[in-house]
Every structure is written in structure tokens, then in C-alpha cells.
A = this chain, B = another copy of it.
Amino acid sequence: MKTRDKILLSSLELFNERGERNVTTNHIAAHLAISPGNLYYHFRNKSDIIYEIFLEYEKLVDYYLDIPEDRPLTLDDMMFYLESVFDGLWSYRFFHRDLEHLLDGDRRLRQDYREFTDRCLDAISRIFEKMAEAGIIEPQSDELRSAMSLNVWLVITNWMAFLKTAHACEESANLTLTELKQGIYQVLTLEIPYLTAAYRERVLALREKYRPQLPEAREVELPVGKTVGWNAV
């Protein structure tokens, strides 16, 4: 593999593990056992590395969210979208973590990210529209669909932050893809009231698969008698 690609790969890996804020260009170089000078031969600065990684992320999500216009959507499609989006979120999880700071440091990125968000919101809205056409959910007004889509976006993009801050016990350490995908449970919660009678039971069954499990570690840690909070029933 070319050094340039190795730098991108290692950067992504370190960013995801430790957070962009805690990874310096020197760390990246050290991790690859190359010199800082070498790294800076391939990239003008740290922002450039981040920007290139964003372009990959963007490409991936755009690919996932390409909605077929020649056929109706199925439940399988919907689950594929959800699974894919959370996979993408996982692979580039450093990105939404320090988003605000990243955008403050790079105008291009800010502009591109805004357009990216707009595209995603349009895609979510379009998915809802086609789900209504397919009889999975009741049709909604454009306005409601837009607002709903935005709520879906907020839940999706911030589920990880919630896990890391409110949920994780120690040091926000080892989060798993499985835990992340419990966000699908939350997204499907948003859809429940709009489901048609024909599909309601099937979607609820799918949703059950993502229901968060009570983490043992946490229960042990809590004082006896205390509620488990967000997960309590």
C-alpha cells in the first residue's frame, strides 16, 4: 500500500480510537513508523487528512443512500438503509464526535458537510415518501415529513455521543458496533405511530431485535434500588 493511503488509514483508525483531538500528526507518523517530514510530504496539514477522510465517508453514505426510483421500497430496503447508515457512522465515528471543531478549522469541509447534510435529509425524506407509497407508513404532509426526517437525522447522528456520555461506564471506552446499532431501535420508535396496520406488527418485531440489553457491568456499579434510567421499563 502507498504511504499516502497508509496515512489515511492509520489516521482514521487513531481518530476513531482516541478522538481527533487527541491524535497529533506526530502520533500518526509514529504509529506508522515514518517521519513527520514524510507525512507532511503527502499532506499539507492535518486538516487535509481529515478532509480526505470526510470525502471517503461522504462517498460511502451517498452510495448507501442511493434510492432506486424504478421500484417501490420494501421493509428489507428500510432495514438495509438503517444498517448501512449505522455501519458508516461506525467506520467514521470520530467525525461526528468533534464535528463542530472540525468544521471550524476548514471552510471547504464546512461547506461540503452542509451540502452532505442536506442530501441526507432529502434522502431520508424520500425514503419516508416511498415507504408511504409502499403502504408501510401512512402518508404525511411535506412539512411533517421534513420535520420527521430532521428528527431521524438528529437521533442517528447523535446516538453515539449519547452512548459515550450518558451510558458508558468508564472513560467512554470500548463501544461496540452492536451497541451503536441499538440506535436503530430509537429510529424505529419514531416511526411507530405512522405504521400502517398491515405492517405494524412486522416492523415492531424488527425493532425488538435492536432493543438495548441491560449492560451487566452498569447494574453492578449502581447503588441498589436506583433506577437504570434511560433503559428502565
Query: How many A residues touch the partner, as a band?
Result: 35 or more
Shortest distance from the beta carbon of A67 to any chain B beta carbon, whole Å: 15
Query: How many Å lie between the Cα of A231 and that of B190 in the bound state?
Result: 19
Residue on B with the closest CB to A148?
A: B189
Interface-forming stretch among A35-43, A70-78, A84-92, A154-162? A154-162
Is A64 positioned at the interface, with any CB of B under 8 Å from its CB? no
Contact: B231 with A166, CB < 8 Å? no
Is A47 positioned at the interface, with any CB of B under 8 Å from its CB? no
Query: How many Å lie between the Cα of A233 and that of B159 in the bound state?
Result: 26
Contact: A171 with B121, CB < 8 Å? no
Contact: B229 with A185, CB < 8 Å? no
Is A230 positioned at the interface, with any CB of B under 8 Å from its CB? yes
Residues of B with C-beta under 8 A to A100: 19, 97, 161, 164-165, 172
Contact: A121 with B229, CB < 8 Å? yes
Interface residues of A in 89-107 (CB under 8 A from B): 97-101, 103-104
Is A186 positioned at the interface, with any CB of B under 8 Å from its CB? yes
Residues of B with C-beta under 8 A to A143: 233
Contact: A233 with B154, CB < 8 Å? no
Known: A101-B21, A151-B186, A232-B146. A118 touches B158 (CB 8 A): no
Known: A19-B101, A100-B164, A103-B172. A122 touches B229 (CB 8 A): yes
Is A80 positioned at the interface, with any CB of B under 8 Å from its CB? no
Is A216 positioned at the interface, with any CB of B under 8 Å from its CB? no
Contact: A171 with B233, CB < 8 Å? no
Closest 10 CB pairs of A and B: A118-B229, A193-B193, A117-B166, A147-B189, A158-B158, A121-B230, A154-B155, A150-B230, A142-B233, A99-B165
Query: Could you list 21 examples of A-B contacts with CB < 8 Å?
Result: A19-B100, A21-B101, A98-B101, A99-B161, A100-B161, A100-B172, A103-B172, A117-B166, A117-B230, A118-B229, A118-B230, A122-B229, A122-B232, A142-B233, A144-B189, A146-B230, A146-B233, A150-B162, A151-B155, A154-B186, A158-B158
